[in-house]
Structure 1
Amino acid sequence: MSNPQLRYFEQGDVLHLMIAEGKEIQSVEINPHVTLELNEGGDVIGIEILDATRFIRDFVLESAQAKMLNLDGRIPHEAS
């Protein structure tokens, strides 16, 4: 599959990203909200995000706050 497919299930607030076609053989939970779906070769073919609205909102807010607080490892510019 050359184009990933994104599906949102509003009733369960689940976001599913299908990266590649194939049969899911195994899944690996990488945190309580994100599960990777693997094929027979161990390649990631899908990503499932539970409680997607809150998870994505929190991820974006935390990333933005880290950037604004300069917690990304860069040295802040001195005020002139």
Structure 2
Amino acid sequence: MSDFKQQLPQMNYFKEEDILHLLISEEPESASIEISPNVTAELNAAGELIGVEILNASNYIRDFILESVQGKLLNLVRSEVL
């Protein structure tokens, strides 16, 4: 069996828990900071970002995409009016 190692960053979705985890580094987590409700930044001992965890990920991603698309559409409409 070959030693397959995924490249970083690595994203994993845990469907039953609805958690999205982005792994940037495999260093041990020393601390975490809540960036916003349901979003936590994971830090190494030097305070560098090594991961991000998003709870209720399906709602968070849906809302993020909707806001992004609505903002871009609004900018397009504004540029056509000017």
- TM-score between the two structures when normalised by the length of structure 2: 0.83
Aligned length in residues: 76
Q: Is residue 2:65 matched to residue 1:67?
A: no
Unaligned runs of 5+ in 1: none
Instruction: Quote the offset at 1:46 in angstroms.
Output: 0.5
What secondary structure does 2:60 align onto?
A: helix
Structure richer in helix, relative to its length: 2
Measure how far apart 1:33 and its partner are. 1.4
Q: Is the 8 A contact 1:2 1:20 kept in 2?
A: no
Task: Provide the identity percentage.
Answer: 51
Name the residue aligned to 2:19: 14
- The gaps in structure 2 that reach 5 residues or longer are 1-5
Please give the alpha-carbon distance, in whole angstroms, between the structure 1 residues aligned to 2:29 and 2:37: 19
- The offset of 1:78, in angstroms, is 3.5
TM-score, length-scaled by structure 1? 0.85
Q: CA deviation at 1:2?
A: 5.4
